[in-house]
Structure 1
Amino acid sequence: MRKPIVAALAAASVLLAGCEQGIPPEALAISQVSVEKRQLQTRYFETEDESLLLNASVAVLQDLGFTLEESETDLGVLLATKDRDATEAGQIAGAILLGVLTGVYVPTDRNQKIRVSVVTRPLDDGRGRTAVRATFQRLVWDTQGNLSKIEGLNEPELYQGFFEKLAQSVFLEAQEI
């Protein structure tokens, strides 16, 4: 009768000892890759007017062919998408070759949706600035209608182009042009 009680007490003490250690500090550390992505995706504007930034962002996204899907201006969030063809000649050629050699049908990418989210956040730095973070993502469906890829788009040129257009749009919005 004592053996099960002793075993239960031993197990409980091991569990409690593990709880005392808590979360290791490295689990909460931000990786260098995450810091670099955040720097790529974020720009700072010398205004506290989030609605100005959001309106300018909508104008830029629409100029780039995106359709506004969701907008929570009170929270400083926009979500927009655009549909594109995802067909790649090399992928199709490979699928045909594999089909001829093995007799197996290989689905290929057909459609993609480019999704962008824009989030504004006022900074408490005493300088009246607002951070704007944009993230681009690509979702791809194959010829069978299955979602085959979800990937972040991290090309610096994409973000540089977006933020240059946004800076121009903010200037035009501020000047009411």
Structure 2
Amino acid sequence: MRKAGKIIASLSLLAFIVGCETIPKDALTLSPESLADRQMQTRKYETKDEAKILTACAGLLQDMGFNIDESETKLGVITASKRRSAVNAGQQVVAVFVALLGGGYMPTDKDQIMRASIVTRPVGELKEYMAVRVTFQRIVRDENGKITKQETLNDPEIYQKFFDKLSKAIFLEAQEI
């Protein structure tokens, strides 16, 4: 029993110390860039049929070379990924020069995992629209398997192309083509 009392006292002290940490006032404040990013990543479609939207999204992702990792229709969520080369010729040249100048071995980027996440939700006064938000990320690994970059892709052209293709896919899905 003594040992259990010490463990409980230690856990209580730890909880007290952790609980005393203050949260910065702006911790939950979104930056102006966050709103702009969310607008770039979201489109609204005039339909209530979330299942057809998700089917079109999944088909489009597969057409783009992604593998569907998870899909939950009831929650309106799809996650997908694909692996691609991340070899960069400029990085390779620098690594060779470093080695030739006696700087030793410099690992270079080898591959990357591209991820796509889609979330849908009904919007509008009568829930007559379906909002679709997509985000693209990439994780780059070097020859040793170490992560060298993790980033969200924020190129507006990527999102515009995705939503142009999605609009066509939704049309085809609605026409049952």
TM-score interval w.r.t. the shorter chain? Answer: 0.7 to 0.9
Report SS of the residue matched to 1:102.
Answer: coil
- Alpha-carbon distance in structure 2 between the residues aligned to 1:60 and 1:67: 11
CA distance in 1, matches of 2:59, 2:113: 19
- Equivalent residue, structure 1, for 2:76: 76
> Structure 1 residues 85-94 or 145-154, which shifts more?
145-154
Residue pair 2:139, 2:147 contacting (<8 A) in 1 also: yes
Q: What is the distance in 2 between the residues matched to 1:129 and 1:39? A: 16
CA distance in structure 1 between the aligned counterparts of 2:103 and 2:24, rounded to whole angstroms: 52
CA shift, 1:93, in A, is: 0.5
Corresponding residue of 2:32: 32
| Greater per-residue helix proportion | 1
Tell me which residue corresponds to 1:61.
Answer: 61
5+ residue gaps, structure 2, are 1-19
State the identity %.
50
After TM superposition, where is structure 1 displaced by more than 3 Å over at least 4 residues in a row?
A: none
2:41 maps to what in 1?
41
1:39-66 Cα distance to aligned partner (Å, 9 max, x none): 1100001111111110000111111111
**RMSD of equivalent CA atoms:** 1.8
> For each residue in 1:8-41, what CA deviation from the matched residue of structure 2 results, as whole angstroms up to 9, or x when unmatched?
xxxxxxxxxxx9xx863x4433211000100110
**Contact residue 48 and residue 127 of structure 2 kept, 8 A:** no
CA distance in 2, matches of 1:156, 1:27: 27
Does 2:164 match 1:134? no
TM-score by length of 1: 0.83
Residue matched to 1:167: 167
State how far apart, in whole Å, the 1-side matches of 2:65 and 2:24 are.
Answer: 45
Give CA-to-partner distance per residue, 1:56-92, whole Å, 9 cap, x none: 0011111111111111111100011111110000001
Residues 1:96 and 2:90 aligned together: no
Relative to the length of structure 2, the TM-score reads 0.83
**1:125 Cα deviation (Å)?**
2.3
- Alignment partners' CA distance in 1, 2:77 and 2:39: 18
Does the residue aligned with 2:101 lie in a helix, a strand or coil? helix
Q: Which has the larger radius of gyration?
A: 1
AA aligned opposite 1:99: A
Q: Aligned residues, how many? A: 157
Whole-angstrom CA distance in 2 between matches of 1:27 and 1:63: 39
Residue segments in structure 1 that go unaligned for 5+ positions in a row: 1-18
